[in-house]
């Protein structure tokens, strides 16, 4: 079978075990195509693509970009289903300060920051690391921060059917920081809420908890 968009990283499920083995693999045909284009980009920028420091750059960039966009091959629903457990716990579950690295689809420059995710279980919980994996799944694509925020929320809502989900993302965009009027310290915050988090008391409690510093 020919893969439409081969990933930089494959997560293969280990049998009888709910964990994943990480294997780096790059599709040769895709790498070669990207190498040709990145060489063209270097020349288009007025560089000598054959000078020592740049000889291997197209290949490095090709592999880096395949890794950075491997989220297209990840399935957030499958990640959550792989560790979905019956549980009567029905208090808010919060995973905060999840590191996030993505690429703005308008400039193909990185944006990076933190995601804070919460849900209120309704009979099912998932592994905490799976929440971070879901963030990764959507971050490792060409993205806009607003869409990613909703995609994370939807994946959790649809898979675990909790009483509510909350997602807050704070990120700095290099396309804002490096270009034009450099805004070095601006942070963009996006949020999405469903179910009980639409209630302002629950939402305020979540926002208080993610901003609280543990002493």
Tokens 């740049």, residue located:
54
Secondary structure (H, E, C), 102-153: EEECCCCCEEEEEEEEEEECCCEEECHHHHHHHHHHHHCCEECHHHHHHHHH
CB of 186 to Zn ion, least distance (A): 13
The catalytically annotated residue of 24, 43, 87, 105 is 105
151 is an active site residue = no
172 is an active site residue = no
- Which burial class, exposed, middle or buried, applies to 86 when counting CB atoms under 10 A from its CB (0-12, 13-18, 19+)? exposed
66 is an active site residue = no
CB of 103 to Zn ion, least distance (A): 9
When the beta carbons of 44 and 180 are compared against Zn ion, the nearer one is: 180
CB of 191 to Zn ion, least distance (A): 20
When the beta carbons of 31 and 149 are compared against Zn ion, the nearer one is: 149
105 is an active site residue = yes
Q: Please provide residue 185's backbone torsions phi and psi, each rounded to the nearest 5 degrees.
A: -110, 10
CB of 176 to Zn ion, least distance (A): 7
Q: Bridge partners of 9?
A: 24
Calpha distance 108→73 (Å, rounded):
19
Residue 22, H or E segment: strand 20-24
145 is an active site residue = yes
When the beta carbons of 83 and 144 are compared against Zn ion, the nearer one is: 144
| 8 Å CB contact between 89 and 121 | yes
175 is an active site residue = yes
77 is an active site residue = no
The residue number with the shortest CB distance to Zn ion is 175
The catalytically annotated residue of 30, 66, 145, 151 is 145
When the beta carbons of 79 and 104 are compared against Zn ion, the nearer one is: 104
Residue numbers of the site for Zn ion (CB under 5 A)? 104, 106-107, 175
Calpha distance 171→179 (Å, rounded):
16
The catalytically annotated residue of 3, 87, 106, 200 is 106
Residues with catalytic function:
104-107, 145, 173, 175
């Amino acid at each position: 079978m020919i893969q439409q968009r081969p990933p930089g990283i494959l997560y293969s499920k280990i049998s009888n075990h709910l964990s994943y083995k990480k294997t780096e693999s790059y599709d040769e045909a895709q790498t070669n195509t990207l190498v040709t284009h990145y060489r063209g980009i270097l020349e288009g920028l007025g560089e000598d693509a054959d000078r020592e420091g740049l000889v291997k750059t197209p290949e490095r960039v090709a592999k880096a970009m395949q890794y950075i966009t491997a989220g297209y091959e990840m399935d957030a629903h499958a990640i959550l289903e792989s560790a979905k457990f019956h549980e009567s716990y029905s208090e808010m579950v919060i995973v905060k300060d999840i590191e996030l690295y993505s690429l703005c689809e308008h400039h193909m420059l990185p944006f990076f920051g933190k995601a804070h995710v919460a849900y209120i279980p309704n009979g099912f919980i998932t592994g905490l690391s799976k929440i971070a994996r879901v963030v990764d799944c959507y971050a490792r694509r060409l993205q806009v921060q607003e869409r990613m925020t909703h995609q994370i929320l939807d994946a959790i809502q649809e898979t675990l059917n909790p009483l509510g989900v909350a997602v807050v993302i704070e990120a700095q965009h290099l396309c804002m920081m490096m270009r034009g009027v450099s805004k070095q310290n601006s942070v963009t915050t996006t949020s999405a809420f469903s179910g009980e988090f639409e209630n302002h008391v629950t939402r305020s409690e979540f926002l208080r908890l993610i901003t609280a510093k543990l002493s």
